[in-house]
């Protein structure tokens, strides 16, 4: 059995792999929401983002989905261990399935494109041409007036902007800079699918600063 991992200053305990901090930054990017707001964590893996969000905002109604039943089982175990109310469903986001629209959809999608030569686990590999299909599926699950929150590799920016222009949607981009002397490799993005196209580019978020890391990754604060 994998050892338990303490996150968010010990407020959240997880078993199973936690690959990087992307899910924690994604959860922290969700603003404070009213009680019983419907939230979907798409491609949830073992539930890190959904459970981190519920740790901060237990008043939400959160559903998490993934194509991998092993990861869904692990997410269910993690939710039970942390006494967090998380609904779970095994499904393929790119196949039709009956789900109601959600006020907030969040996703840490598989962004390693095989044709770009990235090496990653199979669950984090996106074949060529699938990114717009993912965006279409995710926006279709976002309720009118709702928002889609993403954390992505920065190489996805052009495709994401093109999608927002052509569908259309209002898009906000915030680079997540993990080193002061290197360009950001991650983007926090927010799409409002039912709004006219607009593009807001925020300054890079200094994710390397210890005070910010302490606030988000240990003190369970939101952005």
Closest CA to 191 of 136, 131, 111: 136
- Burial of residue 127 (number of CB atoms within 10 Å: 0-12, 13-18, 19+): exposed
- What's the mean per-residue pLDDT of the chain? 88
Q: Is the pLDDT of residue 124 over 60?
A: no
Helix, strand, coil percentages for the chain (3-state, nearest 5): 30, 30, 40
CATH numeric code, 30-191: 3.40.50.150
Query: Given pLDDT bands bounded at 50, 70 and 90, which one contains residue 120?
Result: very low
**pTM flag (> 0.85):** yes
Per-domain residue ranges for the chain?
Answer: 30-191
191-209 pLDDT per residue, tens:
999 899 999 999 999 999 9
Q: Compute the average pLDDT of residues 133-157.
A: 94
pLDDT at 28: 95
Which has more pLDDT, 140 or 124?
140
């Amino acid at each position: 059995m994998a050892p338990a991992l303490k996150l968010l200053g010990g407020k959240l305990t997880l078993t199973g792999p936690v690959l990087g901090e992307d899910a924690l930054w994604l959860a922290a990017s969700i603003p404070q929401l009213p009680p019983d707001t419907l939230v979907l964590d798409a491609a949830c893996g073992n539930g890190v983002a959904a459970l981190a969000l519920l740790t901060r905002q237990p008043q939400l109604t959160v559903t998490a989905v993934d194509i991998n039943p092993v990861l869904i089982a692990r997410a269910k175990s993690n939710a039970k261990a942390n006494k967090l109310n998380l609904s779970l469903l095994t499904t393929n986001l790119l196949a039709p399935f009956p789900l109601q629209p959600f006020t907030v959809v969040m996703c840490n999608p598989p962004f390693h494109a095989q044709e770009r030569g990235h090496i990653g686990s199979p669950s984090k590999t996106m074949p060529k041409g699938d990114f717009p299909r993912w965006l279409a599926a995710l926006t279709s699950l976002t309720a009118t007036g709702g928002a889609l929150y993403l954390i992505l590799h920065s190489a996805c920016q052009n495709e994401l902007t093109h999608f927002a222009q052509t569908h259309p949607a209002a898009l906000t981009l915030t680079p997540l800079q993990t080193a002061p002397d290197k360009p950001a490799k991650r983007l926090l993005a927010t799409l409002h699918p039912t709004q006219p196209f607009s593009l807001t580019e925020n300054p890079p978020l200094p994710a390397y600063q210890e005070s910010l890391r302490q606030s988000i990754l240990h003190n369970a604060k939101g952005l």
